[in-house]
Amino acid sequence: MSAQPILLQILLRQRQWHRYGLFRAAYDDAARQVDRGLVGTAPSRAQLHRWTSGELKRLPYTDHCRVLEIMFPGWTADELFGPCPPDVLAGTTSRPREGPFADLVAVFPTRADFTYAMPPHALFDGASDIRAAGLSLNLICQQYPDQRLHRLIEGGAELRCLFLDPDGDAIQAREREEGYTDHHLVMLTKLNIEVLSRLRDRLPSEARDRLSIAVYDETIRFGIVLVDSETCVLQPYLPHARGVDSPTFVVRKCSRSPGLYSTFERIYTELCERSRPI
């Protein structure tokens, strides 16, 4: 067995297909695109374990390989059954992928599942440009240490944050929708703005302009985090559900087609143009 994880194993986990039932459903969806006669021919649970453990001596049957290449656009069967590249392990690969999922590379049922699989330090460490728009931006303000943010910005990174205005009408509407009666979201957002404001004050004078804080007062639809013009983490705000309980999507910018990344980057840019700096 190879000491380095097999690429297929890592990609299955990134897409939350490592559970056999989910894998089989995704396999059948891809099989329909290859040959409807291949639907229902997914490997057994034991066989899938052999595929991902590095025990195979040769590639699976050709039909299996064809389906897997549809499931994981941009990767060949040889690559899928080879050692996982370091950039994929680190979650930083910029390899373009095209196919039925455009540039969507991972889906998580909740934000908690996302942060478990992709903790903030894996997303932000070493970044040179971070743009975020949402409600309270807890991913940055509560889950990523101040010291790391300070080092990141002092080292040349730019951080631009758009908060839902804690004194506006939209945040009050969101509180009513989530069932809060104690101004929880208002207080949390004010706290997080204060966290970043204090951090900005502690930065060297030449670095302070690299941390921008602004607010907007509009119906909140998405939380958007853009990292290095390459990765987008987005989350819809669902009716009567806290942000932490909402699904989270990870998109990697694809140079060959517009995809989802350009859509949500445009949403962020337009929101930024309508925001008020603090």
C-alpha triplet 166, 268, 12: angle, nearest 5°: 110
Q: Which position has the token pair 């945040």?
A: 171
- Cβ–Cβ < 8 Å for 8, 80: yes
- How many other CB atoms sit within 10 Å of the CB of residue 192? 21
**C-alpha distance from residue 74 to each of 70, 100, 105 (Å):** 9, 12, 11
Residues 6+ apart with CB under 8 A from 206: none
Q: What is the mean pLDDT of each run of 10 residues along the chain (278 residues)?
A: 76 80 82 88 92 87 92 88 81 47 77 81 90 96 94 96 97 92 93 97 96 97 93 90 83 72 94 96
C-alpha triplet 101, 115, 260: angle, nearest 5°: 25
> Can you identify the CATH homologous superfamily of domain 107-277?
Endonuclease Chain A (3.30.870.10)
pLDDT at position 3: 61
* Per-domain boundaries in the chain: 7-89, 107-277
Sheet holding 248-252, edge to edge: 104-108, 248-252, 231-236, 222-227, 129-133, 158-164, 211-216, 276-277
Q: Which position has the token pair 């309980």?
A: 245
pTM above 0.75, yes or no: no
